[in-house]
Structure formats: structure tokens, C-alpha cells
Amino acid sequence: MSTRLAVVMILACCVPGLAFAQESAEDLGRFSANPHQPNSTSKPEGPAGAAFTNTSVNNPSSRYGSPHSNQSATNPFATEAPKLYDSSGKYRGRLSANPYDPDSISNPFGRYGSKFSPDSINNHYGAGNPHDLDSPSNPYGRGMQIMPGDTATDTPQPGQTPTDNPLHHPPQQPSSQSQQSSDADATDAGSTDGEDAQ
């Protein structure tokens, strides 16, 4: 009887954890200073802020928090660090300690790390405005969504259309002008009297 109870307890504990791990594979939480936000990196008992969950950037043993992982926010040499998106789905750089990555929020000369760039969360008059709900520095705001930074994915991020995704290259459609010129070329090639068709 105790063996059955043990099996039931193990399943009760593991199955919700598996479901959570599948959900969070696409969402790593919110980069936020708000400790009351359920999925904030500042909430130590939440899934994104806990130091023991597999997808937390605060977990030094997870691939997103380890100083040795290429997908980590804390590795100063990472090239596939997590990406940040605001509530409208606009890309806001990589949550990365790499000061050489052009998209890193730690690059003081980059678009997303410079304190002078309007797109940087380090600019208190731009994307990092502490009064903006999307700003990670607002202690009452929602912060920015953290998504895995693997470059192997070809799916649009939240709020992105497929053409906004830099990995998605739709086939080029010929414009009506180029279609007309190719029709004219075909007419020229088919004429036998040598006159130019216009």
C-alpha cells in the first residue's frame, strides 16, 4: 500500500512540473524590478526569479543563468543570450552580460545598451524610463518579456509578424513593373521582324 502511495505522490509532483517545463520553453518570464509580478525575475519564489528553476536567468545551474552557457544572461561571452521584448512585441535587445555583442544590454556603445540610445533600457528617458510600465526598472511595472535567444528557431516572437522575424525570409514576389518588363522581353524575343516592342 505504501508503494502505491509513493508512486501517486511522485506522479503528482512530476506531471505538473513537466507541464510547466513545456510551457516555459518559449517564455522565460519578465525582466522586471517588480517583486509582485507573478513571473518577474525579481520575485525569488516565482518561476522566473527562483534560483532553482531550470528556465530562470537567476539560476547559476540553468542554461539561461550559468556563467558557462552560450545561452546565458550572465555569461560575458554568450552569443545566444535571451532576448527582450516589450508589451507591443518590439525587440529590445539581448539580456546579456556580453559587452561586445551589438544587441546586448551590457554593450555601452550598442543600440540596446547605450545610456544615450532611445531603444536602450539603460536610458532613463527612453526604453528604460522608470515611469513606463514596460521598463525593467519600474518597481510597479510589468517589465519586458524574456524569450530564449537560440538562433536556430524560425518562429516569430510574440507580437512579431513573420516578416519582422530576421530569420524568416519570404520569397520575393516580382513587382508589377518587373512583370511588365519580362512580358515585354518575351514579346521582343518572339518578334520575327526585328522591331522593338514597347
In single-letter form, the type of residue at position 192 comes to T
Domain-embedded: residue 176: no
Domain-embedded: residue 191: no
Give the whole-angstrom CA distance, residue 66 versus residue 62: 6
Give the whole-angstrom CA distance, residue 36 versus residue 89: 22
Predicted confidence at residue 5, as pLDDT, reads 37
Predicted TM-score of the model (pTM): 0.65
Strand order in the sheet with 30-31: 30-31, 144-147, 83-85, 91-94
Q: Which residues contact 150 (CB under 8 A, 6 or more apart)?
A: 71, 80
In 79-153, the DSSP E strands lie at: 83-85, 91-94, 144-147
Domain-embedded: residue 158: no
Digit-by-digit pLDDT tens for the chain (198 residues) are 444 433 333 333 333 333 333 334 478 999 999 999 999 999 999 999 999 988 999 999 999 999 999 999 999 999 999 999 999 999 999 999 999 999 999 999 999 999 999 999 999 999 999 999 999 999 999 999 999 987 544 344 455 444 444 433 333 444 444 444 444 444 444 445 444 444
- Residue in this structure with the C-alpha cell 543563468, named with its chain if needed: 65
Beta bridge partners of 83: 94, 147
Domain-embedded: residue 104: yes
Domain-embedded: residue 93: yes
Domain-embedded: residue 155: no
Domain count across the chain: 1
Domain-embedded: residue 195: no
Domain-embedded: residue 35: yes
Q: What is the span of the domain harbouring residue 78?
A: 23-146
Cα 133 to its chain centre, rounded Å, is 18
